[in-house]
Amino acid sequence: MSALTSIGLPVALGIIMFGLGLSLTVGDFARVLKQPKAVIVALLCQLILLPVICFGLVLAFQLPPVLAVGMMMLAASPGGTTANLYSHLFRGDVALNISLTAVNSVIAVVTLPVITNLAILYFNPFDDQLGLQWSKTLEVFAIVLLPVALGMIVRRFWPGFAKAMDKPVRIASVIILVIVIVGAVAQNWALLVENFGRLSLITIVFCLISLTIGYLVPRVIKVGKRQAIASSFEIGIHNATLAIVIAQTVLGSVELSLPAAVYGVLMFFIAFGFGFLIRDRARVSPASDVTAPGAARPS
């Protein structure tokens, strides 16, 4: 495993999660109590329904064991900060996105290792590895939550600095992430090309199902359209970077990260097209578009 993978990917993810922390306040967690129906439905879809659907897809597409586990890791990954941007572009409730991302990031510390271990137990892709043991689960905790917590502390005690650093951190995270991913793809180009065909269709189907469920289920139970749009992107846009980092640095398998890598490329185009189908075409009044106090900027 190269230094680009072992050092660059965790650093890139750490900066991204630190940037997320700079945009969060304690109020973002508390706000979920004000929209319990939308939050509970979105979390149930994210944590239970999608892994079950992904498991069915993996069996239907008859993926090799290591790629099957990679898909399950992707399904268990929380929504990424990209969901906030898409929600903003297509007039979703960005405050709800921010709250869901905050809660999801905390819950994922438990659910991601559990689902990954169950998938490894079922598909048995490694003869000499039992899965994410306690020490590796602590690595997941460090990768996911510590940078977020640090960012929140900076925002709490040095709000001026956090505000000034928000945009530079976002730009830096994108630049570093692109450099690292391009380098990782170049190093594993043959492996990626070899598996792209068998992974492209299942990742497209999974992404479309995730986006559709995230939108339709809330609408069926009478959740507002802007909240349903937010839920759609939060559920439909998984944090592929997190899945790649855990696969390559925690579990030490490049092949395990391939589903997330393919998904990470295709997801942007699928989500963008889907956004045009579900966007709120009604003119949003200024009053209705104001986020709750303490909410982070959507872009």
Average pLDDT rounded to a whole number, residues 167-176: 74
Domain contains 292: no
Domain contains 210: yes
Average pLDDT rounded to a whole number, residues 274-293: 59
Distances from the Cα of 267 to the Cα of 114, 192, 212, 218, angstroms: 25, 16, 13, 21
Q: What b-and-e string marks burial along 263-281, b requiring 16 or more CB atoms within 10 Å of the CB?
A: bbbbbeebbeebbeebeee
Domain contains 296: no
Which phi and psi angles does 279 have, rounded to 5°?
-60, 150
Report d(CA 185, CA 192) in Å as an integer: 7
Per-residue confidence (pLDDT) for residue 5, from 0 to 100 = 58
Average pLDDT rounded to a whole number, residues 119-135: 71
Statement: residue 112 has pLDDT above 80: yes
**Model pLDDT for residues 19-37, shown as the tens digit of each residue:** 778 877 777 777 767 778 8
CATH number of the CATH domain containing 263: 1.20.1530.20
Domain contains 294: no
Domain contains 141: yes
Statement: residue 288 has pLDDT above 90: no
Number of folded domains in the chain? 1
Domain contains 287: no
Q: What domain range includes position 193?
A: 3-278
Domain contains 297: no
Average pLDDT rounded to a whole number, residues 234-263: 85
Q: Per mean pLDDT, which of 95-109, 163-177, 223-237, 243-257 is the most reliable? A: 223-237
User: pTM above the 0.85 mark?
Assistant: no
Which phi and psi angles does 178 have, rounded to 5°?
-60, -45
Domain contains 289: no
